[in-house]
A = this chain, B = another copy of it.
Amino acid sequence: MILITNDDGIVAPGIRALVEVARKFGEVLVVAPDSPQSGQGHAITLNQPLKLRKVKVFDEVDAYECTGTPVDCVKLAKNVLLKGQKIDLCISGINHGANSALNILYSGTMSAAMEASIEKIDSIGFSLLDFSFEADFTSAKYYAEKIIRSVLEQPMGDCKLLNVNIPACPLEEIKGMKVCRQGNGTWVEDFQEGHDPRGEKYYWLTGKFVSFEDEGDKNNDIWALKNNYVSIVPSGHDLTYYSEIDNFKHLENI
């Protein structure tokens, strides 16, 4: 059983592309948000109930839309819809827009896959570096199919999560795949300011991503994508800053 979700919502073109690929490998279940959930990160819904509604979006594939976040979708799929059933793989996406580098933290697409990985399910998040509705998913589908086939044939070990990003270019321009680390950088934010119809001030988040990586370092996803490689980052969920534990030991004696 392959579980599919995303954060752009169940009617986004990207998830349809992923369903088309996944169907080649066996039974598929789609559980995805009923509305766009970009930027929801690892949010879960604690303060209100969730609903699941069976919908007809894909031919010959069972699909449910969920009122919650991407992580809620995975929790509901595993604990309610597929209770007791083995999930061979959870795939999330194909996201409209990059989830490389630091974006893994903000991404509902990646958090959904991470949630499955926490449950020891092999999981992959796929993202295409094109935000538009009309994005061409040809290259993304080609590489998603290769990676899914490989992971189904050779299941993952201790690491259960891959963050895969695909450059927005024609297949023939993609140079291959790079397995690498999460690139270092940050968003330089700006807020677009305005006034609502009642005259009250509002702020709307905008910004651009700035890399902190040395141009010569090829072992990170920022470099890979800039150079037309598909980036694959094996990822976990342990945020401990191990090398700094000793530097804070003095706090035990204050």
Q: A39-B43, A186-B118, A203-B76 are in contact. Are A241 and B234 (CB under 8 A)?
A: yes
Verify B205–A75 contact, CB threshold 8 A. Answer: yes
CB 8 Å contact bits of A26-63 with B (1 = contact, 0 = none):
00000000001011111111111111100000000000
User: How often does this chain occur in the complex, in copies?
Assistant: 2
- The answer, among B76, B111, B147, for a CB contact under 8 Å with A191, is B76
Q: Is the CB–CB distance between A205 and B72 below 8 Å?
A: yes
Number of interface residues of A (CB under 8 A): 85
Q: Nearest B residue to A193 by beta-carbon distance? A: B80
Set of chain B residues within 8 Å of A78, measured between Cβ atoms? 189
Q: In the complex, what residues of B have CB within 8 A of residue A149's CB?
A: 254
Q: Which of A52, A79, A157, A178 counts the most chain B CB atoms within 10 A? A: A79
Q: List 24 A-B contacts (CB under 8 A).
A: A36-B47, A39-B46, A41-B111, A42-B42, A45-B205, A49-B196, A50-B191, A50-B205, A72-B205, A75-B189, A76-B203, A102-B237, A104-B239, A105-B237, A105-B239, A150-B254, A159-B244, A179-B252, A181-B238, A182-B238, A233-B239, A234-B241, A234-B244, A239-B239
Binding site for B on A (CB under 8 A): 36, 38-52, 69, 71-72, 75-76, 78-80, 102, 104-106, 111, 114, 118-119, 146-147, 149-150, 154, 157-159, 161-163, 176-182, 184, 186, 189-191, 193-194, 196, 200-205, 232-245, 247-252, 254
